[in-house]
Structure 1
């Protein structure tokens, strides 16, 4: 390897490392002080673990037990077939299910004209669910009863 390639290669690595640290810092800063209100069935433990996951990523999480979580999700614009096992409200958006924090932050940064995002069901390996991830997570955006793929993780 030439001397100049080593010199520029080292600078590139330093620049990439600095960018990664700044990106991670901005992600944490973006979540800091944002309230995440989770509404869950009182008998569901994985929803509490998803709350812990959001806390670990800087969100201020409050959890409310409500046996009518599916009705509340429906009122928030999440149809029955698209619902996860809990509903989270963050900064005017509804998030249904075990949506990864990267997708939540993407939505909060882009501010799309939607009412909700959802990861339907309770897929294994999703944040808070445990187990092995079996396939990429297809996260949908919802607006006026219409669903479309928003993100794949």
Structure 2
């Protein structure tokens, strides 16, 4: 059985603020995003706040572990690309703690790819807190190959 909980930007801002916000910030940021995550993962919730703060309208579906793993596979990610949550936006999949700026770039450039991945859970990635861990954002292609899309810190 799958447990589902949905959180939206409207629930945080309220109806009046969302109308103004959506005509300015959301238009620039891109399309609505669905994020699949575990209901008990605090860093997933922190990453969702990161992309919401960047202007994305996010719906979160909390899934059991087996269902979450199946979503990752359906999206086109192999275990080496995996992290704790998977997002879908604009025909792309977003795996893990990808910075919102790279999602915006992906949607602007529209490369032929499955999407972006930050494998594992690097300490400095959005939603993780802080540390001193450099990491790469990978562009994952349909054949499973990757290339570095961005490196952090810049």
Name the TM-score, length of structure 2 as normaliser.
Answer: 0.76
Count of residue correspondences: 126
Aligned to 2:70: 71
1:109 aligns with 2:108: yes
1:93 aligns with 2:92: yes
Which stretch shows the higher mean deviation, 55-64 or 139-148?
Answer: 139-148
Which ranges of structure 2 fall in alignment gaps of 5 or more residues?
A: 1-23
C-alpha deviations, 1:61-109, integer Å up to 9, x for none? 1111012212211111110011111001111100000001111111111
Which stretch shows the higher mean deviation, 90-99 or 69-78?
Answer: 69-78
> Counterpart of 1:130 in 2: which secondary structure?
coil
C-alpha deviations, 1:100-138, integer Å up to 9, x for none? 111111111100000111000011021111122422x21
CA RMSD of aligned residues (A): 1.7
Q: Displaced runs of 4+ in structure 1, greater than 3 A?
A: 26-29
Pair 82,57 (structure 1): closer, same or farther in 2 beyond 3 Å: same
Name the TM-score, length of structure 1 as normaliser.
Answer: 0.76
Shift of 1:152: 1.3
Aligned counterparts of 2:25 and 2:80: Cα–Cα separation in 1: 31
> Counterpart of 2:106 in 1: which secondary structure?
helix
CA contact (8 A) 1:126 1:133 kept: no
